[in-house]
Amino acid sequence: MATIEILDLFGSATIQDKGRIGFQRYGVPRGGAMDLYALAEGQVLLQNEPNSAALEMQFGGGTFKVHGTMTLATSGGQMEIYLDNKPIPWKSSFTVNENQILQIKKNISGVYSYLHLPGGIASTKILGSRSTHIPSGLGDVPKIGYHLRSTSKEQIRQEGLFLPPAGYYSSKTINIVHGPHSALFDKKDLELLTQKKFQMSSSRNRMGAKIIPLGWNISAQTGKTLVSDPIVPGDIQVAADGTTAILLSDSQPTGGYPRIASVITSDLFKIAQLKPGEEFYFKLIDRIEAQMKFKQKTREMEHIAKALKPLIRDPGEVRDLLSYNFISGVTRGEADDDY
Amino acid sequence: MASVKSISDYPIIHTIGDQALMVMFGDGYSKQVNSKVLEFDRKLSQADFCWIVEVVPAIRSLLVTIDPLYIEMQKAEHLIREQINTQQESSIKTATRRFNIPVCYGSQYSPDLEHVSLQTGVNKEKLIELHCSCDLSVACLGFSPGLAYLAELPEEFNLPRKVSYNATALPGSVLVANRQTVFTAAAIPTGWSIIGRSPVIGFRLNQSPHFLFQPGDEIRFYPITEEQFQTSNYDKIWDAYGHY
Q: Is the pLDDT of residue A328 over 60?
A: no
* Inter-chain CB proximity A227 and B187 less than 8 Å: no
Total tally of structural domains belonging to chain A: 2
The answer to whether residues A157 and A110 touch, using CB atoms and an 8 Å cutoff, is no
pLDDT score recorded for residue B88: 62
The answer to whether residues A62 and A8 touch, using CB atoms and an 8 Å cutoff, is yes
* Inter-chain CB proximity B146 and A181 less than 8 Å: no
pLDDT band at A207, cuts 50/70/90? very high
pLDDT score recorded for residue B241: 61
Residue A296 lies in a domain: no
Residue A230 lies in a domain: yes
> Which residues in chain A are closer than 8 Å to B18, comparing Cβ atoms?
177, 262, 264-266, 287, 290-291, 293-294
Q: Is the pLDDT of residue A335 over 60?
A: no
Residue A338 lies in a domain: no
- From chain A residues 169-188, the ones with a CB under 8 A of any chain B CB are 177, 179-184
CA distance B137 to B214: 10
pLDDT score recorded for residue B52: 97
Residue A30 lies in a domain: yes
pLDDT score recorded for residue A324: 47
> Which residues in chain B are closer than 8 Å to A50, comparing Cβ atoms?
none
Three-state DSSP class for residue A285: coil
pLDDT score recorded for residue B244: 43
Average pLDDT over residues B14-26: 96
The answer to whether residues A224 and B3 touch, using CB atoms and an 8 Å cutoff, is no
Q: What is the DSSP letter of B156?
A: G
Beta bridge partners of B137: B151, B218
CA distance A235 to A245: 8
pLDDT score recorded for residue B223: 97
Three-state DSSP class for residue B141: strand
pLDDT band at B27, cuts 50/70/90? confident
CATH of the domain at A273: 2.40.100.10
Three-state DSSP class for residue B15: strand
Q: Is the pLDDT of residue B5 over 80?
A: no
Residue A229 contacts B, CB cutoff 8 Å: yes
Share of chain B above pLDDT 70, in %: 90
Q: Are residues A177 and A277 in the same domain?
A: yes
pLDDT score recorded for residue B50: 96
pLDDT score recorded for residue B95: 79
Q: Search chain B and give the residue with CA nearest A227.
A: B28
Per DSSP, helices labelled H in chain A are 36-46, 187-193, 268-272, 287-302
Q: Are residues A7 and A146 in the same domain?
A: yes
Q: Search chain B and give the residue with CA nearest A292.
A: B68
* Inter-chain CB proximity B58 and A228 less than 8 Å: yes
Average pLDDT over residues B41-55: 94
Average pLDDT over residues A276-304: 96
Residue A216 lies in a domain: yes
Whether the ω angle into residue B11 lies within 30 degrees of 0, i.e. cis, is yes
CA distance B194 to B109: 8
Q: Are residues A13 and A136 in the same domain?
A: yes
pLDDT score recorded for residue A315: 52
* Inter-chain CB proximity B186 and A136 less than 8 Å: yes
Q: Are residues A50 and A144 in the same domain?
A: yes
CB pairs under 8 A between A and B: 142
- State the nearest Cα–Cα gap between A117 and chain B, in angstroms: 26
Average pLDDT over residues A70-74: 98
Average pLDDT over residues B136-162: 90
Name, in order, each residue with C-beta under 8 angstroms of A34's C-beta and a sequence gap of 6 or more: A16, A56, A58, A111, A112, A206, A248, A249, A268, A269, A272
Q: Search chain A and give the residue with CA nearest B61.
A: A229
Count Cα neighbours of A174 within 13 Å in the Cβ-side half-sphere. Answer: 32
Q: Which amino acid does the sequence have at B220? A: R
Residue A219 contacts B, CB cutoff 8 Å: no
The answer to whether residues B140 and B57 touch, using CB atoms and an 8 Å cutoff, is yes
Q: Are residues A15 and A157 in the same domain?
A: yes
- From chain B residues 46-75, the ones with a CB under 8 A of any chain A CB are 53-63, 65, 68-69, 72-74
* Inter-chain CB proximity A229 and B61 less than 8 Å: yes
CA distance B65 to A236: 18
> Which residues in chain B are closer than 8 Å to A262, comparing Cβ atoms?
16-18
* Inter-chain CB proximity B24 and A233 less than 8 Å: no
pLDDT score recorded for residue A110: 94
CA distance A142 to A64: 12
Residue A329 lies in a domain: no
Average pLDDT over residues B210-214: 94
* Cα angle value A146/B207/A151 (rounded, 5°): 40
Domain that holds residue A15: 3-164+305-319
pLDDT score recorded for residue B207: 86
Residue A167 contacts B, CB cutoff 8 Å: no
The answer to whether residues A115 and A83 touch, using CB atoms and an 8 Å cutoff, is no
Beta bridge partners of A173: A281
Q: Are residues A102 and A212 in the same domain?
A: no
pLDDT score recorded for residue B179: 86
Q: Is the pLDDT of residue A200 over 80?
A: yes
pLDDT band at A67, cuts 50/70/90? very high
Q: Is the pLDDT of residue A333 over 60?
A: no
> Which residues in chain A are closer than 8 Å to B187, comparing Cβ atoms?
135
Q: Search chain A and give the residue with CA nearest B186.
A: A136
Residue A155 lies in a domain: yes
* Cα angle value B95/B100/B103 (rounded, 5°): 150
Average pLDDT over residues B108-126: 93
Q: Are residues A253 and A315 in the same domain?
A: no
- State the nearest Cα–Cα gap between A293 and chain B, in angstroms: 10
pLDDT score recorded for residue B86: 84
Q: Are residues A111 and A160 in the same domain?
A: yes
- pLDDT tens digits, A216-268: 989 887 655 568 899 999 999 998 888 999 999 999 898 888 999 999 999 99
* Inter-chain CB proximity B17 and A126 less than 8 Å: no
* Partner-chain residue, chosen from B2, B29, B145, that has the shortest CB–CB distance to A136: B145
Q: Are residues A145 and A194 in the same domain?
A: no
Beta bridge partners of B24: B12, B61
For residue B83, the Cα-to-chain-centroid distance in whole angstroms is: 24
pLDDT band at A167, cuts 50/70/90? confident
Residue B80 contacts A, CB cutoff 8 Å: no
Residue A196 lies in a domain: yes
CB burial class (10 A; 0-12, 13-18, 19+) of residue A315?
exposed
Average pLDDT of every residue of chain B: 89
Which of A123, A254, A302 to probe the B interface (max B CBs under 10 A)? Answer: A254
Average pLDDT over residues A206-211: 96
CA distance B151 to B131: 11
Q: What is the DSSP letter of B209?
A: S
Element (H, E) at B129: helix B124-131
pLDDT score recorded for residue A337: 28
Mode of pairing for the β-strands spanning A279-284 and A70-76: unpaired
Q: Are residues A153 and A37 in the same domain?
A: yes
Q: Are residues A310 and A267 in the same domain?
A: no
Beta bridge partners of A166: none
Calculate the dihedral angle through the C-alpha atoms of A55, A60, A66, A72, rounding to the nearest 10 degrees: 50
* Inter-chain CB proximity A295 and B1 less than 8 Å: no
CA distance A96 to A32: 27
- pLDDT tens digits, B181-192: 999 999 998 888
pLDDT score recorded for residue B161: 73
* Inter-chain CB proximity A25 and B141 less than 8 Å: yes
pLDDT score recorded for residue B158: 84
Q: Are residues A204 and A68 in the same domain?
A: no
* Inter-chain CB proximity A183 and B2 less than 8 Å: yes
